[in-house]
Amino acid sequence: GQSLEQPSEVTAVEGAIVQINCTYQTSGFYGLSWYQQHDGGAPTFLSYNALDGLEETGRFSSFLSRSDSYGYLLLQELQMKDSASYFCAVRNTGFQKLVFGTGTRLLVSP
Amino acid sequence: NAGVTQTPKFRVLKTGQSMTLLCAQDMNHEYMYWYRQDPGMGLRLIHYSVGEGTTAKGEVPDGYNVSRLKKQNFLLGLESAAPSQTSVYFCASSYGTAQETQYFGPGTRLLVL
């Protein structure tokens, strides 16, 4: 089986930098994905790390450390529109399908 | 391209009633998925399909059935709805070799009384 842990809520102000952590326990592992979901909306794909290290896409970056079973999503230059829930997800070699964490709600204030 | 669409957007059922949720995608994706999302919880996989005519169970399949008669459509059925099935249901699709990148529909909000 697998389990993922994320903080339930994170708050920050506009223009700041915030890091959302995700720790996972799984046997056999392809990589770590991140999804964003605004209230009432559908999840949308943000990033995928198959290898250790940092992947950067604009204001968002994602990091993976396989040896530590740990990853994070880094959001820079926060904007109000970044207020949303963020989910990490893993796919392991056993179940073969994505398993999502319970999500981190990010609140960005002016 | 419409991407992934779901019908209906919202539905109220009485306990014991049946219904079918329809998902359609126009991206020619091989894989399709049905998830449910409950407050404070992530997305949980109900059933999935790796191609036309095939279906498989996910994490929480009990009380649901699915069919994939055409590549672009994936149907989720509730034969006898229960209050525990009150949830938001999301359909998603992906290329078979890129399951980490899934495209989600807008969701169906189901209330079972």
Q: Is the pLDDT of residue B26 over 80?
A: yes
Q: Is residue A27 scored above 80 in pLDDT?
A: no
* pLDDT of the residue at A1: 63
- pLDDT per residue as tens digits for the range A91-101: 877 767 889 99
Confidence of residue A12 (pLDDT cuts 50, 70, 90): very high
pLDDT digits (tens, 9 = 90+) for A52-88: 999 998 999 999 999 999 999 999 999 999 999 999 9
CB atoms closer than 10 angstroms to residue B12: 11
Q: Does residue A77 come out as left (phi exceeding 0), alpha (psi in the -120 to 50 range) or beta? A: left
CB contact under 8 A, A42 and B33: no
Check B101 against A48: CB less than 8 A apart: yes
Whether B103 sits inside 8 A of A102 (CB atoms) is no
What is the rounded CA–CA span in Å between residue A55 and residue A73?
A: 10
What is the interface size between A and B, counted as CB pairs within 8 Å?
Answer: 51
